Amino acid sequence: MFLVLSALLFIYGYQFYGAKKIEKELLEISREIKGDYLETWPGYLWDEAAKWGTRIIMAKEILNENEKNHPNKQEKSYKTTKKNFTRILGYSIDNLKEIKAECEVCLSNKLEYNDYNKTIQICNEFIEMGERI
């Protein structure tokens, strides 16, 4: 009887240990995917750069239209629009600079994906476009 109980305890203990080990590995994998890995994945950074770049293009167009459509630059609506979209432009440029810096860190850590270089290039183009306004 003791031998049977010992064998059962061994089998269930081994299964429990194996399940805990697998659970621990799955938890580590999910942390990688949800955490740092996702934030430094080239596609994620590219998408973020595109999002902020689109905001720069939008702000630039609205600011240009604001200049054309308001002959009196002292109007409240002109000033408010200019102030709000200049702020959006500034936030967008700052975020693109952060994305560019993140790509440069990834490249310096030997994560040499061509997408990081492309993302840095597109960030530079959008930053330059935003700073020309």
* pLDDT tens-place string over residues 59-77: 888 888 888 888 787 888 8
pLDDT score of 80 more than 50: yes
Using 50, 70 and 90 to split pLDDT, how confident is the model at 34?
very low
Stretch 91-108: mean pLDDT? 84
R_g (Cα) of the chain, nearest Å: 27
Residue 45 burial (CB count, 10 A): 24
Residue closest to 94 by CA, chosen among 126, 132, 58, 60: 126
pTM, to two decimals: 0.60
Residue closest to 114 by CA, chosen among 43, 48, 39: 43
Cα torsion 73, 132, 58, 45: sign? negative
* Alpha carbon distance 128, 126 (integer Å): 5
* Alpha carbon distance 125, 2 (integer Å): 75
Mean pLDDT rounded to a whole number for the chain: 72
